[in-house]
Amino acid sequence: MTESKKFSIKKTSKELLGRWFHLMTLGRALDEKAPNYLKQAIGWSYHAPYAGHDGIQLAVGQVFDRKTDHLFPYYRDMLTSISAGLTAEEIIFNGISKDTDVAGGGRHMSNHFAKPEWNVHNVSSCTGNHTLHAVGLGRAVKKYKHKGVVISSQGESSVSEGYVYEAINGATNEQLPVVFVFQDNGYGISVPKKDQTANRKVADNFRGMKYLKIIHCNGKDVFDSMNAMTEAKQIALETSTPVIVQANCVRMGSHSNSDKHELYRDNAELNYVTEYDPLAKYRRLLVRYKRFTEEELLAIEAEVKLEVKKAHKAGLSAPDPDPASIHDFVIPEPYVSEKYPEGLHNFTGNNKKLIEGLNETLKAEFRLNPDTFLWGQDIANKDKGGIFNVSKGMQQEFGKDRVFNAPIAEDYIMGTANGMSRFNDKIRIVVEGAEFADYFWPAMEQFVETTHEYWRTKGQYSPNITVRLASGGYIGGGLYHSQNIEGALATFPGVRIVYPSYADDAAGLLRTSIRSKGMTVFMEPKALYNDPKASAAVPEDFEVPFGKARVRREGADLTIVTYGNTTHMCVEVADKLAEDTGKQIEVIDLRSLVPLDTETILKSVAKTNKVMVVHEDKVFSGFGAEISATITEQAFNQLDAPVKRVGSEFTPVGFNRILEKAVLPNNDKIYAAAKELIDF
């Protein structure tokens, strides 16, 4: 008998058989009780019954070791979570969204079980997206030579998602100890498996991938599932390669409490799935093989009833989340600069280009913290460091373990950053999220996911990630090379967004971003990488706090609020208007969009009483609309004229430089708008 076949009704100890029966009975009791909470308007608004998945879910939880392993359960994994160690009380706290919910204090959808302190990770409702997180964590497990595996569980239909393919492809390419469990019940809500995949077994879609082992098992059978999961974990541990466990299950109930499976399943099928009830089968085996008597099993069932009754009582008396806490844990407190509290300096050394400021700061932070990593597309090929050479020399100095290329799969870049960051709190990750900011759109699913991790877990997990994006136009790049996306990204709470205009601010903001907990999007105006206008003296330890704007030019007749490429244009226009009209214009370089330095803006408005917002992005729904609204709401009585905005036309950026010039703001457009406002 091989190690992988060590479990059977005859060979397994009575103690273990009894423990499994207790867990399975407890899980089923809670699974059947969950809908009653909704009927009584107590909670559990979403419940996905697991009955029919009992064997594989018991096995996943049993092979999981919370001291060494990491587990990503999906929304149907109630028994998996119980088998991994969650109590009946913890299951109910989650189901009825209590403040005592260990997954996140009632901040997540019910039936999404987790316990981050035990490495049972809080997983989103987006089916299968946690496979990318599992791969990222597997990367950390391998790089830190940690003796453990990562287990990712999901239904077979979620494997149709593109990011699942990215995850499994990446895990095989990087040879990572990740076990992917596919719980195949034949349906994606009401969509039958035949409409999801060409292969009858979805795991077979991945045959041919190097280093990947595929194991099939009967997910309804406890012993077959235990043997399969034990073998899978052993392979992943010993070979550091991924494994897929395809578990054949049945779904005894509807997809969820909002689904009526009678509308698409006939009576024959419904009778079939009831007949193959895994719990009933396991109970019959225990009696048939005389491992337990009927009386012993009845005693365990009675014990479970009392356990559920006690947990129910605790759940009803547990506190609800405090509505006043909604703004807690949106984003962690950032790194605080003691030497440069305002992000200003008087250093007078040699000027450096913006690209030099970024490159030197990256290297300095990598030297400071050995748990800092960088990956992205095209960033580590011999002497080349990205499409713009910002990371030039990084791999040579810090090695392939810390600086490496990622596949051309932006979701994979973001998702594995989220996962790897979970391994320990010291890790800081810098990703070049896309070669151009415009190409970041495929990563938006994982970007959105990462923005609410800290809030959703009630501060138990913070994705400590800096996302570098080469942004903006003025290079004749055209579509997908000249777009500005900061306005769209700024609508998501849980992320900081910075956009420097000069080399010193680029260095200082990058240092603060890397050292801070939480996620920061670092927008780099690529047209300024080597532009002398953006050069500045850069103190080697410079730090710029978030939410601190910089007054680039003082004045009393008009305030211009700007950032990025247009900062230099606004300073030039202000100088020209002073020369032409004698009017003095104050130019505020925001540097940080989220958080926004509203105080500096309003202070300037109170002095000048006229405001113009200038940025490269489109005027319609651009970030300037938020600035304008803020000024109008908070300083309306101080305005002598409406807030004016200058930006790109509401049209795609043209490839031809003549078209680009017509779309983007320039000195002439800014000058004309400012002159009109001064004369208002």
Distance CA 478, CA 486 (A): 17
DSSP 384-447: B-STT-TTTTHHHHH-TTTEEE--S-HHHHHHHHHHHHTS-TT-EEEEEEESSGGGGGGGHHHH
Burial of 432 from C-beta contacts in 10 A (0-12 / 13-18 / 19+) = buried
User: Could you tell me which residues are beta bridge partners of residue 406?
Assistant: none
Cβ(468)–Cβ(387) under 8 Å? no
DSSP 547-597: T--EEEE--SSEEEEE-THHHHHHHHHHHHHHHHH---EEEEE--EEETT-
481 is catalytic: yes
- How many beta carbons lie within 10 A of that of residue 335, not counting itself? 16
Residue type, 384: K
- Beta-sheet strands, E only, within 464-538: 465-471, 496-498, 519-525, 536-537
Q: Determine how β-strand 351-352 pairs with β-strand 536-537.
A: antiparallel
- How many beta carbons lie within 10 A of that of residue 341, not counting itself? 11
- Of 446, 423, 433, which Cα lies nearest the Cα of 124? 446
| Of 255, 345, 452, 481, catalytic | 481
Cβ(156)–Cβ(196) under 8 Å? yes
Q: Determine how β-strand 550-553 pairs with β-strand 536-537.
A: unpaired
Helices (H) and strands (E) in the chain, counts: 22, 21
Locate all alpha helices (DSSP H) within 276-422, ordered by sequence.
278-288, 294-317, 354-368, 394-398, 410-421
What is residue 627's three-state secondary structure? Answer: helix
Q: Which residues are catalytic?
A: 481
